[in-house]
Structure 1
């Protein structure tokens, strides 16, 4: 094994992070982790009661995701982590000590993601959550050269294929 890579699939809720990562993990025989599983109990309880997390709440979680990325890259040629990573400061925290980490930003506009959530759920009750996600999102800019941007407007299979090609191009 010459090099290892960890890819964080990022974007707002409903952009397809889990669907894309699950299929990529199968296609690439890659390790897969849903970053939400690393939230501390207090965060889970807070979110379950309908309260949004703040940056202080997210700090230990981002540290846990950072540690998981470090561990994964030591044993797997390709690892995938699902983590919204909406703010640049969050992405910077995930990068710390992980030089083999890159991001795949699943980018779509509000209307597209809202329509997909409505179709997926049959009804869309969490429009406030989606609006909050877009309000928080600090889209990666050109100074974040480790971010691959994938347009999610095409069908899911095409989005997966684009992400797969982008990963292969990095090897």
Structure 2
């Protein structure tokens, strides 16, 4: 007996910092009355303390966090028709950890180029833009390829309302092509 309704779906909104993951997920969750989790809330205490001291996380730091997100995805898809999780999921290895045991999980890649995201980060009011952070995000990014059939792509080179509408259209398709 399956513990997951095969119709229920979890979508991980992924992309580099500044791609609009949280803003898009919040709007989409509101419009679809979907469950929504910011993946950063599941970081273990030691990761939070490490980041707060200015140290970057490594893959060993991220593994328990990604496993916690995997468990959250499993729990969310048991009871919600549509669930959204915000997680950069920059590397294929990270996406594979999230996929494990979650057949109803797909990714929505909020795709934009460096110049677009840099211009948006610089325009944020009250936000101190650190160019090196964006450089390292793009260096770490392993863009999904065709073999990752559960990844839907949304072009973010449009206003927020357009990105939200494109994301909802992808969700309404039900699954990746």
| Unaligned residue ranges in structure 1 (runs of 5+) | none
- Report matched runs for 1:54-93 at 5 Å: 54-93=58-97
How large is the Cα RMSD of the aligned pairs? 1.2
Deviations 1:120-144 (A, max 9, x none): 1356431111111100000000000
- Report matched runs for 1:29-48 at 5 Å: 29-48=33-52
Runs ≥4 in structure 1, deviation > 6 angstroms? none
Indicate the SS of the match to 1:121.
coil
Is 1:140 aligned to 2:144, yes or no?
A: yes
Deviation of 1:117 after TM superposition, in Å, equals 0.6
Q: Name 2:130's counterpart in structure 1.
A: 126
Q: Name 2:7's counterpart in structure 1.
A: 3
| Unaligned residue ranges in structure 2 (runs of 5+) | none
Is 1:14 aligned to 2:15, yes or no?
A: no
Deviations 1:50-101 (A, max 9, x none): 1110000000000000000000000100000000000000000000000000
TM-score, normalization by structure 1? 0.97
Q: C-alpha distance in 2, partners of 1:152/1:129?
A: 19
The alignment covers a number of residue pairs equal to 171
Distance 1:114 1:68, change over 3 A: same
Deviation of 1:156 after TM superposition, in Å, equals 0.7
Q: C-alpha distance in 1, partners of 2:91/2:118?
A: 21
Q: C-alpha distance in 1, partners of 2:45/2:6?
A: 38
